[in-house]
Chain A
Amino acid sequence: MPEPVLSVRHLKVGFPTRRGTLTAVDGVSFDIAAGEVLGVVGESGAGKSLTGAAIIGLIEPPGRILGGEIYLGGQRIDTLTAEAMRKVRGRRIGTVFQDPLTSLNPLYPIGDQIVETIRTHTPLSRAAARKRAVALLRETGVQGAEERLDGYPHEFSGGMRQRVVLALALCAEPELLIADEPTTALDVSIQAQIIALLKRLAKERGTAVLIITHDMGVIAEMADRVSVMYSGRIVEIGPVREVVLSPRHPYTRGLMGSIPPLAARVPRLTQIPGAMPRLDAIPAGCAFHPRCPQAFDRCRVERPERLAVAPSCEAACWLYAVPRVAPAEVGA
C-alpha cells in the first residue's frame, strides 16, 4: 500500500482554562491516500473543524495541539515552525471554508487575490500568474474568466464565489485539500454543482480530500470513506457504503435513522435522546453511553478502543469486543 498523503495519529487538541484543560479532540487517527476523499461527519462541537484547523496549524488561540502526530507525505508537520508551516499552507494543503461570502477580501479584485496566492507559492511572474489564474477560474467553471478577474467579490454570486475560493485553494496544486463545510452556506441547487466540481478537480489531480460536514448527503455524494465523530473522538470509520448501509456504532445508527428517506413515508424520524456532552462534562468510559440504548456496565467505566467490525471498517464500541471481557487490539 502506498504511503498515505495525510496521516493523523492520536491527535489531541484542547483549550487550557482556569479550571484545567478542556479536550475537544481526543485521540483522533486516520489516513487519507492520494485521490481519496475522506468525509468527517458529526454534530456541531464534535471536533470536526478543529481537527481540520489542527492539520493546517491554524487553531485559534488559546486552543492548541496537546498530543499526537500529523504527517503530510511522510513528513511530520505538527512540529514545524510557524514560518515553515505557513509555506505548507496554500502550497501543499489547500483549504476551503464554509462561507464563500466572507472568505474573500471585499476590497480587492478576485484576480489580485489569486495572483497574490500563486506568487506567494511559486516563482511565476505577475503576467504568468494572471494567466494561471484565468486557467484556474475556467477550470472551476467561472464564465468569462478573463473579464471577471478584475471583478470584486461582491459582484459574484455565492456559488461563483465558492468556485473562486476553490480556485484559490487549488492554485498551487496542493497534495491535500481540506474543505470545511464547503456547501453549507449555499443554495441546495448550487450545492450539488460545487460538490461535483470538487469531486472532479480532486480526481483529476489525485488530490487527497478531507471534507468536513454535518450533511450525510454530501458524504454519500462525494466521499470514499467516512469517519463519524462524537465528542472529540472518531466513533466509526469505514467505506461510505458500509457505514451508510450498515452502521455499527449506535450513534451512527441514530444519525442514519434521523435522515428522512425519500422512498418511503415515515411517521416519525428516529431521534437520539439527549445532547452531546459539554467539553467540561464528558462522561467517563464511552462518551456516548448516557444516550446509548445498548449501553452496558463496561461502557460506563472503560473507554472503547476502535475495533475492526468489517473489512476496513472500525467502530469504537464495546458491542463489538469479541470476548466481551478484554478489549481487542486496535485494528490496523
Chain B
Amino acid sequence: MLAFAIRRLIEALLVMLAVALLAFVLFRYVGDPVSQMAGQDTSLEDRIRLRQELGLDDPVFVQFARFIANAVRLDFGISYQMKQPVLALLAERFPATIELALAAALLAVALGIPMGVYTGINRDSWLSKVFLTLSLIGVSLPTFLIGIILIYVFSVWLHLLPSFGRGEVVSVGAWHTGLLTASGLKALILPAITLGLFQMTLVTRLVRAEMLEVLRTDYIKFARARGLSNRAVHFGHALKNTLVPVITVIGLQLGAIIAFAIITETVFQWPGMGLMFIQAVQFADIPVMSAYLLLVAFLFVAINLIVDLVYVRIDPRIRILGRGQ
C-alpha cells in the first residue's frame, strides 16, 4: 500500500513538472516582458540592466528552475492587468469556484447514482425510460444553452432565482462562502444545476451500464442462488462492484467540473477562477494564465491520486498488484 502510494506520488510529481514546463514556456515565449515593461525612452543600458535584474539572460534551465522554485513557494508573479499578486487574486476567486464545483458534483452524485441504480435494476419500467430520456437530453444539450434556458425560466419568467452573481458572501477565516446566506444559496442553485446536469446524466448512464454488467455476472447469479434478498443482492453485492469504475470517472469529472466551470461562470457572471481566466485571456495576462494552468493541473493530479488510493481501499485485488510491482 505504501509503496503503491509512493509510486503514484512520484508519477504525480513528474506530471506536475511537465505542466510547469508548459506554463513556463507560455510565460517566456508569448512575448518579451522587458519590452512590455520598459517605455519607449528607456535606454539600451537600462534595458540590459532590467534584463539582468529579472534574470532573463540566465540560461533557460536556470530560469526554469527559478520558475519552479517560485511556483513551489506559490509565487506566481504580478498580474499585468490587475497589478496585484496572482496568488492573492486566485485565493480570492478560489472559494467561489470550489463551492460551485462541489455543489454541482454533489448534485450529480446524489441524483445520478440512485437514478443509475434504479434504471439498471428496473430496466423496463416506464420511470426508467423517463430517466433515460432526460439523461439523453442532459448529455446532448450544451452547457451554455442549459444555463440560458434556466435563466430564462427561473429568473426572467418566474422571478424565483437570481440570474447572475454569487449573492451575499460571509467570511469564515480566509474563505469567503456563499453557503451561509439565503441569497448566496439561492444564487448557487442555477449555476450548480447548469454545471452538474451533464455530469449527473453521465453518472446515471455509467452506473446503469455498470449495474447491468454486474447483474449478469456469475457471483450475482450465485448470490441469488444462495437465497439472499433482492436488497442484499442489489445493494450489497452489485452496487459495490458497480462503484469501482464509477469512482474513477467521478473523480476525473470533479477535476473537469473545476477546470471547465469557465462556461458556467461566464454565463452566470460567477466570480470564480474560470471567469478570471477568461478575462485574463482577453488581456493576455500571462502570469494569471500560467498560474491557472498550474492550479488546474494540480487539482487534476491530486484528484487522480486520491481516486487511485480510494480504488485500492475498495478493491482488494489492486492491493496485490500494488505489492507485486
Contact = CB atoms under 8 A, between A and B. Distances in A.
A58 B227 contact: no
A120 B226 CA distance: 9
Interface in B45-59: none
Interface stretch (B75-83, B202-210, B315-323): B315-323
B140 interface: no
A210 interface: no
Nearest to A112: B236
Contact of A86 (B218, B229, B237): B229
B225 A56 contact: yes
B219 A104 contact: yes
Contacts of B303: none
Contacts of A258: none
Contacts of A108: 237, 240
Interface in B180-234: 217-219, 221-230, 232
B241 interface: yes
A168 interface: yes
A58 B225 CA distance: 8
B314 interface: yes
**Size band of the B side of the interface?**
20 to 34
**Size band of the A side of the interface?**
20 to 34
A97 B226 contact: no
A106 B241 contact: yes
Contact of B226 (A90, A106, A107, A154): A90
Contact of B221 (A88, A90, A97, A106): A97
Contacts of B237: 105, 108
Interface in A84-103: 86-91, 95, 97, 99, 102-103
Interface string B304-325: 0000000000111100100000
Contacts of B219: 102-106
A302 interface: no
A97 B317 CA distance: 22
Contacts of A104: 219, 222
B225 A90 contact: yes
A117 B228 contact: yes
B227 A121 contact: yes
Contacts of A102: 217-219
B315 A58 contact: no
B225 A89 contact: yes
Nearest to B214: A105
A154 B236 contact: no
A91 B227 contact: yes
A165 interface: yes
Contact of B222 (A87, A91, A97): A97
Nearest to B230: A86
Interface string B222-258: 1111111110100011001100100000000000000
A140 to B, nearest CB: 15
Contacts of B241: 105-107
B228 A120 contact: yes
Contacts of B316: 106-107, 152, 154
Contacts of B240: 107-108
Contacts of B226: 89-90, 95, 117, 120, 168-169
A116 interface: yes
Interface string A171-183: 0100000000000
Nearest to B223: A105
Interface of B: 217-219, 221-230, 232, 236-237, 240-241, 244, 314-317, 320
29 contacts: A86-B224, A86-B227, A86-B228, A86-B230, A87-B227, A90-B226, A90-B227, A91-B227, A95-B222, A97-B222, A97-B225, A102-B217, A103-B218, A103-B219, A103-B222, A104-B219, A105-B219, A105-B223, A107-B241, A107-B244, A107-B315, A117-B227, A120-B227, A120-B228, A121-B227, A154-B316, A154-B317, A168-B226, A169-B226
Given A103-B219, A107-B316, A117-B227, 16 more contacts: A58-B221, A86-B227, A86-B230, A89-B226, A90-B227, A95-B226, A97-B225, A99-B218, A107-B314, A116-B228, A116-B236, A117-B228, A120-B232, A152-B316, A154-B317, A172-B227
The 8 closest A-B pairs by CB, nearest first: A90-B227, A89-B227, A95-B225, A102-B218, A90-B226, A103-B222, A152-B316, A105-B219
